[in-house]
Amino acid sequence: MIESKVKKPIKNTFHQKLSSWYEANKRNLPFRETPINPYFIWVSEIILQQTRLEQGLPYYLKFINKYPDLQALSTANEQDILLLWQGLGYYSRARNMHHTARYIQIKLKGEFPNTYREILKLKGIGPYTAAAISSIAFNEPVIALDGNVYRFLSRYFAVEESIDEAIGKKIIQEKGQKLMPKLNPGDFNQALIEIGALICKPNNPLCTECPVSRTCKAFNQNLTGILPIRKKKNKAKTKYFYYFIVYNKKEQIIIRKREGAGIWKNMFEFPLLESEKRIALKNIPQSDFFQNLFKKSQPVIRTISNEHKHILSHQILKTRFIEIDVSKHSYEEKDYLKINHEEIEQYPMPRLIHKFFQQKELAL
């Protein structure tokens, strides 16, 4: 009698459960469309850094529409790029993208690098973005660790070390890399990101809907409310900004390009008095900045706005806008550019200025 061989059922592994969940629940996003384009993946990853999907997606669509490929971006004017980026924040991302596009177009003959190590050498690209591009566009099995994935894996493996510190990151990177499949690593990385964003949320994770909760250590040990461990953030510093909107006799206003290495480098703004402490409004005309700016033009203050609070990742800005009339006196300032009011929309400016004009119902 010939003994029949019956195949044992395939074990429903972590990868299979996660992949099945991803195929059934993944969001329909334009940069996931086939064929995969490394340029689109790169642009989407940079825009979505430090940015919520619902905020970043319209910017992605506008960006790709205006700059559909590397060549278009590499030949663009930086001021136009910053203007398109206005309101998204972290403007160094846009400047770095422009630099990198030009580098790839000129030095690499328009060919996007196709390995993790080579992609990581590009300006503005860190380990996560390099891993995302190399795995999704080029099928390289490298774990892509963003905040969602750090949170998910720290809970799944019950990592007790802080995910903000080197030891915690190293543990999660090693454990995550061991999970990486050689087949379709890009889909696996996107599945990890998706489950972190939609299921393993920072607060009140949806564990009953998680396809791998039965093997999740945090879930089984009732640690989901404790993990991941994070170190306490330093308290954000407060700075006080006083912007001067100066009108000359032709009702023109003056702006300048912001120099230096700050977050708003190469963007435009009004004359600005910065202070570590709040300045009494009555003392502003006596300040050295005010005196040097207006010299002998005898300015007249039109209006002073209420204080506007603007929160950045590392500091809080409390800002007032002071409208100044110098129409009755000659006024020349070599460091500034004089423009008509309706021309403001042609210049990239920080979001707090944009919001101020929106409140005044003046379209930028």
Q: Would you say 157 and 217 are in contact if contact means Cβ atoms under 8 Å apart? A: yes
Confirm whether 45 is a catalytic residue: yes
Note the pLDDT tens digit of each residue in 96-131.
999 999 999 999 999 999 999 999 999 999 999 999
Would the CA dihedral through 259, 265, 271, 272 be positive or negative? Answer: negative
| H-run or E-run covering 297 | none
Q: What angle do CA 336, 102, 49 make, to 5 degrees?
A: 80
Would the CA dihedral through 83, 86, 92, 98 be positive or negative? Answer: negative
Report which of residues 261 and 14 the model is more confident about. 14
Q: 3, 23, 33, 45: which is the annotated catalytic residue?
A: 45
Q: Domain 237-359 belongs to what topology?
A: Nucleoside Triphosphate Pyrophosphohydrolase (3.90.79)
CATH dotted code for 14-220? 1.10.340.30
Task: Give strand pairing partners of 301.
Answer: 324
The full set of domain ranges for the chain reads 14-220, 237-359
Residue 23's pLDDT band, with cuts at 50, 70 and 90, is: very high
pLDDT at residue 178, rounded to an integer: 94
pLDDT at residue 3, rounded to an integer: 40
pLDDT at residue 11, rounded to an integer: 40
Q: Which of 296, 287, 303, 284 is nearest to 333 (CA)?
A: 296
- Domain 14-220 and domain 237-359, same fold? Reply is no
pLDDT at residue 9, rounded to an integer: 39
Note the pLDDT tens digit of each residue in 286-325.
899 988 888 777 788 999 999 999 888 788 999 999 999 9
Residue 131 burial (C-beta neighbours within 10 Å; 0-12, 13-18, 19+): buried
Residue 58 burial (C-beta neighbours within 10 Å; 0-12, 13-18, 19+): exposed
CA dihedral 242, 248, 251, 254 (to 10 degrees): -50
